[in-house]
């Protein structure tokens, strides 16, 4: 059963005022609660998230869609704006899997058009790191796992740019006309309805 966020919070966490402020800035979210935990020194290795592990790539967060859980690096508690950006990004991973194929294809079409116009930059490192990894100027031909991952990360980074309350960031490098097109896409798709996570 899904309930619109009105009186009860959809984000469950031990106690963090920054997380409460972030939820108030987000558009209405629908769905079961998502648990949020903070752990120190997060890394990822072979697709697994670790805390205080001696090897792996340092990361700020990881999401477990089926378990309805987000793990955030404890360091983010000292930087509310970065916490807002990263938590919003992670929440939209939950939204991405519930969008439906037609809406996902619509967002993919927007990105294909950006590639045809040679758009540079992105709205977060998650998408940018994948974008610069493409050697083909048309990475969507044929569609690959790397292309699908890029679409998802771009969607989540764009949502974080739109909804986190962070107006300026060194990772916001996408051109103004492409930002405008993405903003219009989000407003059109989610107008007059909650975002299912």
pLDDT one-digit tens code per residue, 164-176: 999 999 999 999 9
> pLDDT for 11-67, tens place per residue?
666 556 777 778 888 888 889 999 999 999 999 888 889 899 888 889 999 999 999
pLDDT level of residue 10 (50, 70, 90 thresholds): low
For residue 116, give every residue at least 6 positions away whose Cβ sits within 8 Å of its Cβ, in sequence order, or none.
138
State the Cα–Cα distance between residues 132 and 32, nearest whole angstrom.
36
Closest-CA residue to 70 (of 123, 13, 122, 115): 13
Per residue, what are the HEC states of 42-70?
Answer: EEEECCEEEECCCCCEECCEEEECCCCEE
State the Cα–Cα distance between residues 35 and 47, nearest whole angstrom.
20
State the Cα–Cα distance between residues 78 and 147, nearest whole angstrom.
34
Return the bridge partners of 43, or none.
50, 58
| Percentage of the chain lying above the pLDDT 90 cut | 67
Strand ranges for the chain from DSSP E:
11-12, 29-30, 34-39, 42-45, 48-51, 57-58, 61-64, 69-73, 195-196
pTM over 0.75: yes
pLDDT level of residue 8 (50, 70, 90 thresholds): very low
State the Cα–Cα distance between residues 172 and 46, nearest whole angstrom.
28
> pLDDT for 103-156, tens place per residue?
999 999 999 999 999 999 999 999 999 999 998 888 988 889 999 999 999 999
Closest-CA residue to 122 (of 96, 81, 152, 101): 152
Name the average pLDDT for the chain.
89
State the Cα–Cα distance between residues 105 and 147, nearest whole angstrom.
12
């Amino acid at each position: 059963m899904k309930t619109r966020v009105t009186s009860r919070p959809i984000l469950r966490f031990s106690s963090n005022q920054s997380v409460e402020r972030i939820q108030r800035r987000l558009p209405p979210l629908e769905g079961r609660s998502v648990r949020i935990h903070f752990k120190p020194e997060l890394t990822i290795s072979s697709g697994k998230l670790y805390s205080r592990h001696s090897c792996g790539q340092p990361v700020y967060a990881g999401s477990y869609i089926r378990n309805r859980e987000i793990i955030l690096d404890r360091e983010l508690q000292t930087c509310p704006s970065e916490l807002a950006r990263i938590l919003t990004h992670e929440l939209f991973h939950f939204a991405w899997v519930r969008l439906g194929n037609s809406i996902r294809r619509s967002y993919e079409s927007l990105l294909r058009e950006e590639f045809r116009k040679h758009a540079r930059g992105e709205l977060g490192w998650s998408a940018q790191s994948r974008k610069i990894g493409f050697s083909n100027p048309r990475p969507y031909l044929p569609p690959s796992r790397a292309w699908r991952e890029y679409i998802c990360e771009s969607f989540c980074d764009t949502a974080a740019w739109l909804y986190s309350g962070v107006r300026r960031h060194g990772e916001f490098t996408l051109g103004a006309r492409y930002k405008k097109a993405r903003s219009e896409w989000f407003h059109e798709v989610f107008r007059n309805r909650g975002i299912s996570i």
